[in-house]
Amino acid sequence: MSLRIGDAAPNFKADTSIGPIDFYEFLGDSWGVLFSHPADYTPVCTTELGRTAALKGEFEKRNVKVLALSVDSAESHRGWIQDINETQNTEVEFPIIADEDKKIADLYDMIHPNASETLTVRSLFIIGPDKKVKLMLTYPASTGRNFNEVLRVIDSLQLTANYSVATPADWEDGQDVVVANSIKTEDIPARFPKGHKVIKPYLRTTPQPNR
């Protein structure tokens, strides 16, 4: 069975570019981003890991820990990191998981036989502090991920985990949000004192409550 949103993220122990880790212990009370790559020393992956490293401060202020994975060895990862740092003008400090036996790739359904029976596709999982899967994205090997979108989704997930709201299409941090349908319109002023608009009985908006 493949993982779905809301499922518990499987725990695992693995060797990484920074040494052995236990996934749950590494995350602690933080949010997590776990993302896979087809292989080391590949061009698109090099840019992705460089971009992730450059966004270190953005992940930290959101209490997010990042882990990458490919089916190559930890030794290979450490050599590749030197190339990433050189070509992307950054410093990769987050762990890259060695998954030579593909056990973690199988746990997270990162091997797609129609794409490749040996290489992990570009899968990305956002995992909450409760160790539940909050989001899943899968890209083909030819298309690099948009990490601004990953940060946007984390902002939405963290906001909606704490308030009875949802985020509309193309929402960005600081913009109005949608009041959950579970809240009656007459109860909105007490819950959201910044004000609200009733566009339709089922579509009510309010300024972002945590800004």
With 60 as the cut, is the pLDDT of residue 172 above it?
A: yes
Tens of pLDDT, residue by residue over 35-50, are 998 889 999 999 999 9
Residue among 9, 34, 45, 133 flagged as catalytic: 45
With 90 as the cut, is the pLDDT of residue 205 above it?
A: yes
Q: Which two tokens stand for residue 19?
A: 């040494």
Taking the whole predicted model, whether its pTM rises above 0.95 is answered as no
Which of 153, 32, 183 is closest to 94 using CA atoms?
32
With 60 as the cut, is the pLDDT of residue 120 above it?
A: no
With 50 as the cut, is the pLDDT of residue 18 above it?
A: yes
Does residue 45 carry a catalytic annotation?
Answer: yes
Alpha-carbon distance of 40 to 62, in angstroms, equals: 28
Give the residue carrying structure tokens 């007490």: 190
* Mean local confidence (pLDDT), 68-88: 96
Within 10 A of 36 (CB to CB), how many other CB atoms are there?
25
With 50 as the cut, is the pLDDT of residue 115 above it?
A: no
Instruction: Please provide residue 59's backbone torsions phi and psi, each rounded to the nearest 5 degrees.
Output: -70, -40
Are 122 and 108 in contact by the 8 Å Cβ rule? The answer is: no
Mean pLDDT rounded to a whole number for the chain: 93
Instruction: Please provide residue 52's backbone torsions phi and psi, each rounded to the nearest 5 degrees.
Output: -60, -45
Which pairing describes strands 13-14 and 21-22: parallel, antiparallel, or unpaired? Answer: antiparallel
